[in-house]
């Protein structure tokens, strides 16, 4: 499968559990071996203590966090430019825009955006300027004038800038010239010695000699003595008069106030409306440090490169990474009920009634004839032990158990002793905040139009669960109110005793629990369920059925 030089992300659900992360890592590794690279495991939430213990044990780095897969500016085709300096001449900018077929040029200094100039701005600058002092007002560098007029500097410093004076054409005889040439003027003239001499004696700051006429040594010496610059050009007087305004720097005409720019991290959905309201065709893009990196146009909105995704361990949109609708979904590998997720195009969907996604991933390794490395075997085995509560969960199948035992041999672990270490690490909440405990393994589900949440914490002893409960009870109230979730259920599962204390919150939650499990407990926020350890197989189906009936 071609990845078009863009990575395919393999990712589990929000608030990922061990199976979600371990299966993502293992499946990405398998796809890389089959297809020669291009696949990266990602995660849609924090790594739980249990999962972190597993990753550390088998010396595997945690996948990078991916907050969303919404299209961003960086997913568009950004036309990369270095930008130009503000002293570039209008003529040079015009030529560059024509050669590159662009209509807007960014003006940049030290990689920071200073302004923009468009073809329209240049046209207005040329057509609307009638002030004969505009050359000095624009602080035009002599270098620009020399380049624009294809000339050469006979006397003077090409790096200097014109700060004052007006532009004149010396068409009259020298006697009349004395009446209108003032100190600091720029005088366009021909090869007449008398006119050149008059302009210098009247303290002109620059004379432009047209038609490539030779300048006598006497004039050169006088000009040098009077700090008068001499520029010689092959063009005639009329052409020079037309061209000289094109030597002005674009910085004088650039738009620098109210610039609309975007960053590479901006969401396309956020910038689309902004672009529609502005008359500009092109918009500058900045990096996270505020430095200019390129331009985008409205047309680029249609060409965003969507992220390519493979989902593991879920197929509910509410559990998926944000922005799923903006991504190209390629595959789903899961072991849960088929949920609310819809796709635009057909995808490879592998869904089996087993206790763990890792069991399916292991089968895919076998089917593709790929050897499982010890570290990957350790991750897959750990996921099965976690999801099946060391084969105690009713979701566990004979296939799960046989697969875990085979993986344990490859990984070099003894299942019972390893599982005790793993679950102990996962239930150690002494240093955890209520928020961290709550979202360690929390999912949202949909029944009709009702959204409800279910979390679960497993432990090896009752004492651990008591500590967890004391922290969780007030926080569940807080989440239920702040997030406006109609109902929240939370399982405190004792692995050894194979039982669950179910905490619940929300209007009608008690009636749902009562209808689902036939309990008559007087407590209005918790109920004890013997033999119930599986969220997927023992809790969710009964809750869904009761909610749908009611």
**Chain segment 49-78, per-residue pLDDT in tens:** 899 999 999 999 999 999 999 888 888 888
Vertex 501, ends 499 and 503: CA angle to 5°? Answer: 150
Provide the pLDDT for residue 2. 32
Domains along the chain with CATH numbers? 8-71+306-426 (3.90.1640.10), 90-252 (3.40.1390.20), 434-549 (3.10.310.20)
Q: Does residue 270 have a pLDDT over 50? A: yes
Give residue for tokens 């672009």.
275
Q: Does residue 258 have a pLDDT over 90? A: no
Provide the pLDDT for residue 536. 84
Mean pLDDT of the region 514-528: 81
| pLDDT band at 1; cut points 50, 70, 90 | very low
From 114, 126, 120, 131, select the one nearest 89 (Cα to Cα).
126
Mean pLDDT of the region 281-304: 84
Residues 335 and 540: beta-carbon distance below 8 Å: no
Vertex 355, ends 353 and 357: CA angle to 5°? Answer: 85
Provide the pLDDT for residue 3. 34
Residues 100 and 92: beta-carbon distance below 8 Å: no
From 2, 4, 28, select the one nearest 380 (Cα to Cα).
28
Provide the pLDDT for residue 106. 92
Residues 342 and 367: beta-carbon distance below 8 Å: no
**CA 466/CA 10 separation, integer angstroms:** 36
- DSSP assignment of 411-463 equals HT--HHHHHHHHHHHHH--TT--HHHHHGGGEEEEEETTEEEEEEEEEESSHH
Provide the pLDDT for residue 188. 95
Residues 3 and 31: beta-carbon distance below 8 Å: no
H/E stretch holding 503: strand 499-505
The whole-chain average pLDDT of the chain stands at 90
Provide the pLDDT for residue 548. 85
Range name among 99-103, 154-158, 337-341, 453-457 with the lowest pLDDT average: 337-341
Q: How does pLDDT run across 461-496, given as a tens digit for each residue?
A: 788 788 888 888 899 989 988 888 999 999 999 988
Q: Does residue 349 have a pLDDT over 70? A: yes
Across-strand partners of 527?
502
Inter-helix orientation angle 462-482/415-427, to 10°: 50
- State the maximum Cα–Cα separation within the chain, in Å, rounded to a whole number: 117
Mean pLDDT of the region 533-550: 88
Q: Does residue 415 have a pLDDT over 70? A: yes
**The 308-312 sheet, strands edge to edge:** 64-65, 39-44, 8-14, 308-312, 328-334, 348-351
Count CB atoms within 10 A of the CB of residue 80.
Answer: 10
| pLDDT band at 217; cut points 50, 70, 90 | very high
Give how far Cα 81 sits from Cα of 43, 234, 285, 291, 391, Å: 34, 34, 10, 12, 59
Q: Does residue 103 have a pLDDT over 90? A: no
**CA 158/CA 237 separation, integer angstroms:** 21
**CA 330/CA 332 separation, integer angstroms:** 7
**CA 280/CA 277 separation, integer angstroms:** 9
Q: Does residue 223 have a pLDDT over 50? A: yes
């Amino acid at each position: 499968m071609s990845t078009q030089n863009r990575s395919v992300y393999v990712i589990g659900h929000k608030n990922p559990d061990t199976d979600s992360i371990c299966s993502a890592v293992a499946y990405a590794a398998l796809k890389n071996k089959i297809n020669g690279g291009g696949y990266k495991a990602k995660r849609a939430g924090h790594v739980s203590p249990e999962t972190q213990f597993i990753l550390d044990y088998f010396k595997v780095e945690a996948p990078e966090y991916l907050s969303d897969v919404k299209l961003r500016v960086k997913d568009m085709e950004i036309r990369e430019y270095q930008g130009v300096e503000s002293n570039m001449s209008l003529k040079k900018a015009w030529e560059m825009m024509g050669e590159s077929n662009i209509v807007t040029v960014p003006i940049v200094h030290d990689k920071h955006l200073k302004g923009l100039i468009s073809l329209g701005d240049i046209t207005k600058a040329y057509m609307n300027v009638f002030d004969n002092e505009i050359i000095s007002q624009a602080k035009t560098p002599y270098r620009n004038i020399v380049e624009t007029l294809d000339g050469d500097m006979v006397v003077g410093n090409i790096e200097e800038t014109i700060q004052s004076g007006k532009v004149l054409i010396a068409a009259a005889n020298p006697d009349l010239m004395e009446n209108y040439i003032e100190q600091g003027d720029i005088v366009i003239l021909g090869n007449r010695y008398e006119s050149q001499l008059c302009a210098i004696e009247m303290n002109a700051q620059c004379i432009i000699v047209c038609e490539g006429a030779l300048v006598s040594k006497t004039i050169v010496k006088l000009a040098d003595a009077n700090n008068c610059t001499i520029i010689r050009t092959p063009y005639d007087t009329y052409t020079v008069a037309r061209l000289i305004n094109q030597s002005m720097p674009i910085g004088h005409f650039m738009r620098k106030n109210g610039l609309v720019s975007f960053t590479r991290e901006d969401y396309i959905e956020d910038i689309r409306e902004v672009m529609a309201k502005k008359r500009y065709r092109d918009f500058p893009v900045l990096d996270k440090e505020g430095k200019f990196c390129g331009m985008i146009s409205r047309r680029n909105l249609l060409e965003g490169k969507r992220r390519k995704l493979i989902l593991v361990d879920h197929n509910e949109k509410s559990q998926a990474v944000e922005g799923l609708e903006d991504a190209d979904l390629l595959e789903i590998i899961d072991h849960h009920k088929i949920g609310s997720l819809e796709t635009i195009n057909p995808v490879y969907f592998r869904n089996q009634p087993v206790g763990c996604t890792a069991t399916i991933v292991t089968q895919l390794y076998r089917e593709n004839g790929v050897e499982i490395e010890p570290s990957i075997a350790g991750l897959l085995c750990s996921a099965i032990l976690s999801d099946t509560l060391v084969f105690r969960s009713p979701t566990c199948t004979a296939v799960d158990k046989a697969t875990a035992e085979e993986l344990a041999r490859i990984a070099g672990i003894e299942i019972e002793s390893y599982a005790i270490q793993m679950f102990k690490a996962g239930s150690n909440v002494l240093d955890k905040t209520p928020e961290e405990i709550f979202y360690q393994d929390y999912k949202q589900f949909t029944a009709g139009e009702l959204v409800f949440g279910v979390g679960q914490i497993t432990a090896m002893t009752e004492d651990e669960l008591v500590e967890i409960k004391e922290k969780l009870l007030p926080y569940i109230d807080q989440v239920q109110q702040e997030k406006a979730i109609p109902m929240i259920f939370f399982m405190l599962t004792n692995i050894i005793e194979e039982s669950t204390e179910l905490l619940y919150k929300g209007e009608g939650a008690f009636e749902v629990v009562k209808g689902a499990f036939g309990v008559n407990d007087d407590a209005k926020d918790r109920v004890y369920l013997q033999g119930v350890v599986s969220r997927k197989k023992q809790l969710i189906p009964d809750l869904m059925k009761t909610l749908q009936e009611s």
